[in-house]
Structure 1
């Protein structure tokens, strides 16, 4: 089993930076995992054409080489590039799938704006294509539920011989959030998100955050 960062994500505005920056389009950090006969892309957060180019630049692979796509949550910044991987199986945690679906339907029923309805129909169509992920996605690649930022936020735990790596999604948003012990603003359940953050830090030697480059967890004393 091996993994590689395909694209380093960013927040629309970084709430923990001392110097303000103009808002930008948020996109999640994208990671490629190869294990057994599975080639898994996690959180394709850039638009299809761009994520396809990054995949080629970083690995030499094409979208047709991807067997599975896993979303750590259903926020748009984690799935902008989904349409580039129509041949792959799409996975998301069962809890995220079962909580987001009814919420989208309720929003649809409560709006008369045709543009909003059309957008919500598109969101539902994407969600329907996402299967509930099994507990083990591939050899040495296990689901790691870390709810709180969204109801069903879920990472992937990569079990190597001497190192445990957690693709944490928005449970650990950036290096600054990790260093300051902070959760990302706008969490669905703050207390649950704090518990997930603590658990992530306790278990992982290396953390791939939701919107930053990978973090070496020096508190584990293995580096």
Structure 2
């Protein structure tokens, strides 16, 4: 509709109204102001972050680590999802740790060998045969659904977890018990609560202390609320394990979410 055809347009600018050009100028100025505010806030965060003492050591044998699959819950209470519906297939967060002389994968949960190979290649450029070790945080089947895709790798878990997985007799070879320090660069951390035998991994990389939490930390929201998953065997123990991880980690890799920084909020 043209101005001539618009009965509400009488040729005069009404109070509080602006021409299109005036509107665009004001919008641009407002945007610049917003950008300046964001920049100032970012400076505040940078200043705050610079005062934080990282927990990790810079001289680690770990060269890099990468998320292979970002996990999710079948039903996430923080998203307003309610039982008994399963909203999506459960997927665990799988992490690749590369150090001097080893490539370790944690919690491989893709049941499809083709999907596992595709994601490993997509996220790291590596083939299945390049993985020499696999670690499982606890005995729940979704965390080792893809274990058999790595027949040439050594399979590890904490002693109690290895015993529980081997008792299922579903694998072509046994899972071996891991000691307190794997590969002399990765620490085995008891984190009971989700299961009694649950163990997480901790290592240093580039000065950061990284904890592969497994289901000791389901998601970032669970971490912030110190809340175990609803199927945890002991919620009090689960909360204590989250506290322990909070004291160890600069970076937390949860069992069913993307990794996040464990930094105080300004």
Q: TM-score over 0.5 for the alignment?
A: yes
Query: Which residue does the alignment assign to 1:197?
Result: 242
Runs of 4+ in 1 over 6 A off after TM superposition: none
Q: Residue 18 of structure 1: CA displacement?
A: 2.3
Taking the aligned partners of 2:71 and 2:206, their CA distance within structure 1 comes to 28
Q: Deviations over 1:53-74 (max 9, x none)?
A: 1001111111100000000112
The question of whether the paired residues in 2 share the 8 Å contact of 1:51 and 1:81 is answered with yes
Query: Which residue does the alignment assign to 2:160?
Result: 95
Q: Residue 94 of structure 1: CA displacement?
A: 0.7
Q: Pick from 194, 203, 208: which aligns with 1:149?
A: 194
2:115 equivalent to 1:70: no
- Counting matched residue pairs gives 201
Query: Which residue does the alignment assign to 2:46?
Result: none
Q: Deviations over 1:172-205 (max 9, x none)?
A: 1101111222111111122221211110111111
- Structure number, greater radius of gyration: 2
Task: Choose 45-54 or 25-34, whichever is displaced more.
Answer: 45-54
The question of whether the paired residues in 1 share the 8 Å contact of 2:227 and 2:238 is answered with no
Give ranges in structure 1 of 5+ residues lacking alignment.
105-122
Query: Which residue does the alignment assign to 2:53?
Result: none
TM-score (norm 2): 0.70
Query: Which residue does the alignment assign to 2:205?
Result: 160
Give ranges in structure 2 of 5+ residues lacking alignment.
1-61
Taking the aligned partners of 1:124 and 1:143, their CA distance within structure 2 comes to 25
